[in-house]
Amino acid sequence: MKFISEAADKRIPCYRVLSDDGYPIAGSRFEQVDKETAVKMYKSMVTLQIMDNIFYEAQRQGRISFYLTSTGEEAINIATAAALTSDDVILPQYREPGILLWRGFTLQEFANQCFGNSADYGKGKQMPIHYGSNKHNFFTISSPIATQLPQAAGVAYSLKMDKKEACVVAFTGDGGTSEGDFHAGLNFAAVMDAPVLFICRNNGWAISTPISEQFRSDGVVVKGQAYGIRSIRVDGNDALAVYNTIRAAREMVIHEQKPVLVEALSYRVGHHSTSDDSTKYRPVDEIEHWKTARNPLARFRKWVHKNGWWTDDEESELRGSIRKQLLNAIQVAEKMEKPVLAEMFSDVYDDLPSNLHEQEKSLRETIKRHRQDYPTDVPV
C-alpha cells in the first residue's frame, strides 16, 4: 500500500531562456526570434506599460470609473500574442489587453471602450477594460471568473468543425483555478479532445489572497496531469521563454487536437484594480523588487539591446510618442459623444421586443415634452 505524497520531492521546474541580465541561459533550448518580431514585441510591451499607467491615472483623476493594469505581466501578454496567429480565438480573463494591442486594436479604440462613448464597440454597455472585438478574434471580457474555461471547450468544439489551422486560447489567473469552472473546463476539454490552449497567469495574488492561501498544490502546472492534460511551467517574465513555450504548445494543440495547460509564473506589480490598494496586504518592498529587479521589460530590453536592435534614443522617442498618443486618445474619447438613447434598449434580444419599444417611445415623448430638463450633453 503506497500513498502518493501530497508534495513531490522537487517542485516542477520552470522553463527559462533569458537570465535576469538578459543573457541566454546556457543549455536552454529556444528558437531564435528575428529582429522585426523582437522589436515589435519590445515596443508593444512598452506601449502596454505606458497605456496602463496613463489610463490608471485617468481613473484617479475621475475621468473614467474603473481600470485594471497588467503591470508586471507585459511579457505574458505580448509574447503570447506574438506566438499565436490572428485566427486563434481568444477567451480572456481580463488582464490580457496586450493580445488585442498586438493584433492591432488602437489606443483610441481602448480609450473609447473605457470612456463608453459612441465609438465603443460595446456601445457603452460594459464597464471599462471589458474589451471585445470580433474582428480581432477576441471575445468580450466577462467579469465572473473562469466562466470562459468551459466556454472555451465549446468554442473549440465549434472551431473543430471549421477545420482551420487554429486553436482556442483561454486565460485565467491563479485565483481562477479555484473556481468550479476550472475543473469543469479542463475536464471536459480533455474528455472532448478540444483544441484549447489553457494559459494560467500565476501572478501570485488574487486581490489580497496570496497563492499560499489559494491552493496547496505545487502551483497550477501539476493540476493538468489530474485531467490527463499535458502541461508546462514557464517563467512568465521571460518574453523569449513565453514565446517559445506558446509556439510549441500551440503546435501540439492544433496537430494533436487536444488541450494543453501552460502555467506562466509572474508577479502582479499593480494593485488588483483601481478599487484596490495592495499596500494594505503586502509589503511595499516586495512590490518594488518585482517592479525593478524582476521587471520583464528591462530583461527583454537588455537582450534586444545586446543584439544591436534597440537604442536608448529609440527608447525615449518611443516613450514620448506613445505618451502623447495616449493623452490625445483620452482627450478625443472624453470629448466624443456618448451612445444614443436607442442603445439602451437595443441588443437585449436580436429584435427589439414590444415592451422595450413602448418604453423607448414613452421616453422620447417625455423628452420632447420636457426638452429644457433634458441634459444637453446626452445625445437622444
Active site residues: 57, 143, 272-273
According to CB under 8 A, which one of 41, 84, 153, 304 is a site residue for another protein?
153
Q: Tell whether residue 372 is a contact of another protein (CB under 8 A).
A: no
379 contacts another protein (rule: CB under 8 A): no
Is residue 150 involved in binding another protein (CB under 8 A)?
yes
Which alpha helices (H) appear in 163-283, and where do they start and end? Answer: 180-191, 211-214, 221-226, 239-256
How far apart are the C-alpha atoms of 279 and 157, rounded to whole Å? Answer: 43
User: Is 155 within 8 Å of 182 (Cβ atoms)?
Assistant: no
**How long a stretch of residues is the chain?**
380
Using CB under 8 A as the binding rule, whether residue 163 contacts another protein is answered as no
Query: Which residue of 134, 212, 372, 376 would you call a contact of another protein, by CB under 8 A?
Result: 134
DSSP symbol at 210 = E
Residue 154 grid cell? 465549446
Indicate whether 238 belongs to the interface with another protein (CB under 8 A).
Answer: no
Nearest to 108 by CA among 57, 38, 47: 47
Contact between 178 and another protein per CB under 8 A: no
Beta-sheet pairing, 205-206 with 209-210: antiparallel
Among 125, 230, 289, 323, binds another protein (CB under 8 A): 125
Answer for which of 104, 180, 320, 379 binds another protein (CB under 8 A) is 180
Taking the complex as a whole, the smallest distance from the CB of residue 104 to another protein amounts, in Å, to: 17
Q: Does residue 121 bind another protein (CB under 8 A)?
A: yes
Dist. CA 194–CA 185, nearest whole Å: 10
| Cβ–Cβ under 8 Å, residues 209 and 171 | no
Among 142, 178, 273, 307, binds another protein (CB under 8 A): 142
188 binds another protein (CB under 8 A): yes
Instruction: Report the nearest approach of another protein to the CB of residue 294 (Å).
Output: 35
Q: d(Cα 203, Cα 269) in Å, to the nearest integer?
A: 9
Q: Determine which residue in the list 49, 71, 80, 133 makes contact with another protein, applying CB under 8 A.
A: 133
Q: What is the distance between the alpha carbons of residues 231 and 245, in angstroms, rounded to a whole number?
A: 11
Could you tell me the smallest distance in angstroms from the CB atom of residue 89 to another protein? 7
Q: How far is the CB of 210 from another protein (least distance, A)?
A: 26
Alpha helices (H) in the chain, listed in sequence order: 35-60, 74-83, 97-102, 107-115, 148-162, 180-191, 211-214, 221-226, 239-256, 284-292, 296-306, 312-335, 342-345, 354-369
Contact stretch for another protein (CB under 8 A) within 1-9, 68-76, 251-259, 348-356: 348-356
Q: Nearest approach, Cβ of 278 to another protein (angstroms)?
A: 27
Among 42, 105, 115, 139, binds another protein (CB under 8 A): 139
Closest CA to 378 of 352, 343, 328: 343
For position 66 contacting another protein by CB under 8 A, the verdict is no
Residues 6+ apart with CB under 8 A from 19: 25
Taking CB under 8 A as the criterion, the residue among 28, 39, 157, 273 binding another protein is 157
- The answer to whether 100 contacts another protein (rule: CB under 8 A) is no
The sign of the dihedral angle between the CA atoms of 23, 200, 106, 379 is: negative
Binding mask 190-229 for another protein (x = CB under 8 A): -xx-------------------------------------
Half-sphere exposure of 378 (CA within 13 A, CB side): 11
Part in contact with another protein (CB under 8 A); list of ranges 183-191, 206-214, 248-256, 364-372: 183-191
80 vs 247: CA distance, rounded Å:
8
Q: How far apart are CA 244 and CA 117, in angstroms?
A: 39
Q: Which residue, 7 or 348, has its beta carbon nearer to another protein?
A: 348
Residue number, 289 or 338, with CB nearest to another protein: 338
Nearest to 233 by CA among 75, 17, 14: 14
Site residues for another protein, window 248-287 (CB under 8 A)?
none
Q: Which residues bind another protein (CB under 8 A)?
A: 89, 91, 120-123, 125-126, 130, 132-134, 139-140, 142-144, 147-159, 161, 180-181, 183-185, 187-188, 191-192, 343, 346-350, 353-355
